[in-house]
Every structure is written in C-alpha cells, then in structure tokens.
Structure 1
Amino acid sequence: MRIGLLGTGTWAERVHAPVLAEHPGLEFTGVWGRRPEAAEALGAAHGVPGYADLDRLLADVDAVSVALPPTVQADLAVRAAEAGCHLLLDKPVALTVPDAEAVAEAVRAQKVASVVFFTVRFGGPQIPWIEEQAALGGWYTGRSDWYGSVFVPGSTSPYAASPWRREKGSLWDVGPHALSVLLPVLGDATQVTAVAGPMDAVHLVLRHAGGASSTLALSLTAPLAAGGTGMELRGEHGVVQLPERGEGPQAALHRALGALQSAAASGEPHPCDADFGLRVVEILAAAERSLAEGGPVAV
C-alpha cells in the first residue's frame, strides 16, 4: 500500500512519519503540508519527497495518514476519499457533526477503507481487554478518568501550543479516548449529561443502550501532581480495570495502519471506522449542548 502523510506538525513528526517509514507492507510515498518547506524538510528526513500540490500526492498513493488539526482534517479527508484514497484519520474526526457526517458519507460513497486512530483503542494490552469485556457483558457501570496537565505551569507537553486544544479543551481532546473504550464495551450512548468543573475540566454521565451507565472525568488543566488516567468497570463479573499503557503511540499507530490494510483488502469496515468517528463527534456535540443548556441531552 502506497501511503502519504498529510501534516508536518509535532504529531506528524514524532509519530506518523517514523511509523510510516518503517511499517512493513507500506510504501511511504511522500508528505504534504500547509507549509511546503516543512513538508520538504519532514519528507527529506525519511527519504521521501515533500509535495506542494495535494492533488499530486493523492494521485500517487493508495492511502493517506492524516496528522492535522480536526479543524482542517474533515475537508481534506473528504477530498482524499473522493480521490479514491483509504483514510487513517486522527481523533476527533471533526469538531462539528456536519463535518464528521461529510467524512463518513464520502467514505461510504467512495467505498474506501477508514480507521480512526484512537491510541488507547489500538494499545497492545488494551485490544484484548476491550474484546474480552465486550464479550463478557453484564456490566452495570463504567468510570473513566483522564486528568491531563497540558495547560498548567511547568507542563512540558509538546501540545501546549495547540490552538484547537486550547479552544475546545479536554472534552474534545481526551473525551474521544474515553469513548473509544467505553462504547464497544457498554454499548452505544443514548443520553449524556455534562457538568463543568474547574478550568477546562468537564464531567459526563452517559446512559448506554443496554442499560448501563458510565461517568467520565476529563481535564487538560489538572495540577501536575494530580494527573493520570484510569478506567474501571463494575458488573456481574466483579470489578476490572483497563491495563496501564506501557508503550508509546508509535506501537499503537503500527496496529492502526495494519487494521487499515486489512480493511482495505477485505472490504469489511473496521469497528473504528469513520462512522464510529462520527458517532463519537455526535456524543461530544451533545455534551456541549448539555453544558450550554443544562440537563441531559439525547444522542
């Protein structure tokens, strides 16, 4: 599979480009970015050309790996799908439901494969854990805590300069990670209630289709000493916790790209495809409405 990279920022440089260059079965073909000089530099670091013309890159590849802000990703993903390219998308797919719908519709119309890269959903220990808990069933409730410290004094996060994260906060940055694990285990969400916490913190309560409930605590502004993540399920089989993440995002991206290859070869949609990405956006948008209006919102 010939694959191109869209994006030249920190996420593209640190994660996407190195993985594309070393992934077996992929031919890293080139890099496109909104700054041609950055595309040339990142491409040169991995022995591939930088493209100033996006259409030329799309014509030269079978797939694209997108490492762009969600404000940019949706339009370019539609453009890539219409060019016949399979899509490795970042989360969230978009920041509005109509934009996410456009991506999902383009994927369906063009019959291309798509995978949304939720790092935890593609974690080595996490994949079998999620599958096992989903198969067991009988869960009464779930809890997911994502306390990040991206925007606090002393933070060394490379993403502290991210405009969209600063504007949209934890709900849209780490909320997708929590949902990517809870939804396949507890079932689709039917209702969400959101309450604002300190700074960008937000607390969600979800009702799931099978009757279970879940709570999410999300923040990018937790004190450095209070940061951390965790997920717990309680039900007929007792109490279980999501395994700790012991690897970096590169290993997870290798698996996500492998999933894209398999979906492209088989024609079978992956569970984390653009339609799932759309559903996550719909739930996050409903949470935003709950914050603005107060009370539960149906999704």
Structure 2
Amino acid sequence: MHDPVPATGRQFEIVGGAARAVITEVGAALREFEVDGVPHVESYRADELPPRSAGAVLVPWPNRVADGRWVLEREAQQLALTEPSRGTAIHGLLQHVPWTVVEHAESTVVLHAMVPVQPGWPVPLLTSVGYAVDDSGLTVTHTVQNLGGRAVPFGLGVHPFPRAGAAATDECTLKLAAATVLPVDPERLLPVRPPRSLEGDEQEFRRGRRLAGVLLDTAFGGAAPLPDDPDGLVRHSLTGPAGGGVELWADPVFDWVQVYTAEDFPGRGRAIAIEPMTCPPDALNSGTGLTVLQPGADWMARWGLRPF
C-alpha cells in the first residue's frame, strides 16, 4: 500500500518570522497564508481541488477567452472550452498541472512550469512563481520567458481570496485602487463595451465600501499607485470592523483587478476574491493590456499580501 497523493499534490510550507504559507505542487497555488496564526487568505483541504480557483496562478491569460478563439499573426487559434457553460476558455493553462520545485528554503519556494505548444497555444513559454514570507507578509514573484521562435502576447493574473482574519466577509470594507469598471454580458461575463469611469458610480470602491449585500464578478481597470505612494505600488485592501485587515499590493503592471464574491466557499460561506491581473477579460481578442514577449525575452512582476 502507498499513501495517496492529495488532489493538489505535494504541499510546500514556508515560514519566515511570524508568517507562514503553504503552496501546492499542482497549480503552484497559495493554499494557506497566516501571520501569528491569524489567516489572511481563505484556505481549503489539500485533498480537494481549489474551490473557485482559490490561490491559482492564471497564465498565459487570466479570466475568459470568448469561445476559446483568438488569432496570432492571422492564424486562428482554438483553445479548449474549460468553462463550457459560458462557452469560454478560462484562467489559462497551468491550473491543474504539477509544477516543478527548483528552490525550497525555510522562507521561500520557487516553482517552474512550461506552457507547451498545444491546440490553441502555438508558442512555448517557461513560467515561474516564487513565494517568500517574512514578518512584513507575503511576496510573490512571477516570471515568463518565451522559448519559441516568434513573438506571442500573454497576460497573467492570480486568484487569492484575502480575508481580514476571523472577521466575516460581510462585516469587512473593500477598498480598490481602480478608476474604471468593465461592462460585461451578465450571462457570459464577457466585455460588451469599453471601460467606464467609476466617478459617482455605485461600484466606486476607492473610498471603501462595506461588503454586506454586495455581489460582484466584476473587472475593474485603471488601478494605479497613489501619487504620493513611496513604493509606486497598486494597493487594494480588505478591512475588518475592528480596523485590522490585509492589503494586497502589486506592481503597476497589474492595473486590472477582478473582484468576485463567492456565496459558498467551503467552511466560510461568503468570501471575496481580489484578483490582480495584467489585462482584462477576453484580452487575447481585444489586445487590451497584453504583453508581447519576443523570442528569448523574459518578463517579471510582483504582488503580495501585507496584514495590518
């Protein structure tokens, strides 16, 4: 007899000061993150698939591709429809594949995975994600390298479900550094018009808004650092009723953020995903926010979580 492998593969724990995180082999997902024993992301069991894509790395595109179709240099591409109910390809190609650990120290872990040439994706990419924890929180570093012989566009996102410790989601206040919202078809959640300004809009979250009664599966754009931000970072936050919470910070290339309120997250009920993205839904068709990676070139960006 052998011990069964959990659905998410091997588990890689990292500890730095009072901070601790657990990363999964399958999908390189963030399964746990806590400081002083206080949880700051929604978690799940190692032997179940990530609920609602919790903690997933979304590459070479985040969110949805309409009908799984896009065009590269006049060549039509057809991706598998991984969200058949909406007729879309969702969240990239690496959610459910094992990643290779290339470094694992006490407070850091780095995993690599290859996006091979396949139906709908004609250029190979090598991607990595590095997780590091210390007393200040969690830092996540992503790289993507073009291993092919021609340029290819891509996008990247992540799917954490931050939480303000033990506070109920409906008691928390969400604050976003976003200036626009992307109108979508309510059935397929695909863009139907260009982004519109949030000035005076009921979905304005720049000043903070309590989440009780709020339902979202919404892409917000124009996320940018405040003019006086010393580090030049995009900053979103979730604050509990007692004033503490968690900040999600990101490099300015993550100028989109998808916010999704789940009603049935296991063990929690209401939960909220705050998903930094480099491009909006259906970007492989619109071209909005895509990064074009030349042969042999690489790309790097960071985001993280900071309890307060």
Q: Calculate the TM-score normalised by the size of structure 1.
A: 0.30
More helix by share: 1
Q: Calculate the TM-score normalised by the size of structure 2.
A: 0.30
More strand by share: 2
